[in-house]
Amino acid sequence: MTDHPNQYEVIKFLNKLTIHIIAEMKSVPTKEIEKMSTMKSFQTKNSAGHVGISGRLLKLSEHIISKPFSHICNSS
């Protein structure tokens, strides 16, 4: 007999852990200046990221999109 738990015990444990973590998540309001600061830290590349927008484009448009982006994040 081994000391390792079987895969069903591991999955059961992870499922309980995930529910516990999600239940404790809280939304913290952010400010426009925080979004601008984050966007300034992006790498300036022409290649698109996960959502199809390049870091360069985000940096160039930070002053335009930071306010609506903050509103969307704070509303969700």
Half-sphere exposure of 37 (CA within 13 A, CB side): 5
Instruction: Name the residue ranges covered by the structural domains of the chain.
Output: 7-75
Residues 15-54 pLDDT 10s: 776 555 555 556 778 787 787 787 777 777 777 777 788 8
In this predicted structure, what is the pLDDT of residue 13?
79
**Structure pTM?**
0.46
* Tokens matching residue 6: 């079987």
Half-sphere exposure of 44 (CA within 13 A, CB side): 5
Core vs surface per residue 37-58: b (16+ CB within 10 A) or e: eebeebeeeeeeeeeeebbebb
